[in-house]
Structure 1
Amino acid sequence: MSVGDEVAGEHPGEPDGFERLWTPHRMVYIGGQDKPADASAGDACPFCRAPTLDDVEALVVARGAVAYVVLNLYPYNPGHLMVLPYRHVAGYPELTAQETTEVATLTQTAMRVLRKVSAPHGFNLGMNQGTVAGAGIAAHLHQHVVPRWGGDANFLPIVGRTKALPELLGDTHARLVAAWPSPTPARG
């Protein structure tokens, strides 16, 4: 029996000619794992917790003075990064001038590194402010850096509501960390 074949009485539903790619790992995201229960900072917030862990374990790619870069645990595309302040803050207007500058600078560096490592054709950059705007974790601001390639939105996400990623997160993390430029010593 191949994927998608149905044996009478064995599986419910009518065959529709589509193959199914099962992605049960997505259920933890849908079920809310690692999402903060409230707006408080600390271990309940995965974005506050990540910088306290080992970089490989937390998928932290780079650290700045007031912000850091991490791979998205539930990426839209390979190399989907997020740039975040360390400080637990929900709104973009609440960032300090230093946080705003470092988030912008780390975003630029992320794009340069992704171009070098993966040669995307373009990028989506964005901050979803509030749950109604699509923020999965609205209590801790994060900027998405999503590399895009021509044809990366094929039948899978459109029809099958599934995204096939050709590389494991750990492999993507290792390639990005290896290509990230060394920190520049602070001036002053």
Structure 2
Amino acid sequence: MEKLGYQDVNHQVVERCKSGDHRAQYELYKLYSKAMFNVSMRITNDYAEAEDVLQEAFISAFKNLHSYKGEASFGSWLKKIVVNAAINAIRKRRAELVPMDERVVEDVPDEVSEDDSEWQVEQVRRAIQKLPDGYRVVLSLYLLEGYDHAEIGEVLGISESTSKSQYSRARKKLLEIMREPQFVA
């Protein structure tokens, strides 16, 4: 008997969901809820809101499972739903992207100095949480979720150049936050 791979098992669970098997829905939830919660949390920066987004995203996914064609992995398909739900939650909060102007943003170095190498992951995570919503969303989508600027622009309804500018400003602001006394070890 041939052993099934992870993708094959996921495909079987998705097919069972499509046929109305509620246990299969629970299996998918167990497989993906933690990772999708983390995606939601990085974007919303609010635990309760991230939980709400997660539930809304899974409900939407199960309702629209018939539209999942298997062209991408189920996790990628679900992640798009979660990202969109998280962005919509921020929009409902009436959060707006940080106002843009046409000035060129000064370049922020790609590498941190040797002094900065002591920064710990937890410090960076806390600093990201301090970013304004617009900066945090673009930074999270680009760095953590792997979206390119064209995709970010499409999702947020902004131009690709605005996404790049927001990302550059977010990096600069993040470095400023990381240099604040409470973040310096």
TM-score by length of 1: 0.28
1 or 2, which has the higher helix percentage?
2
Give the TM-score of the pair, scaled to structure 2.
0.28
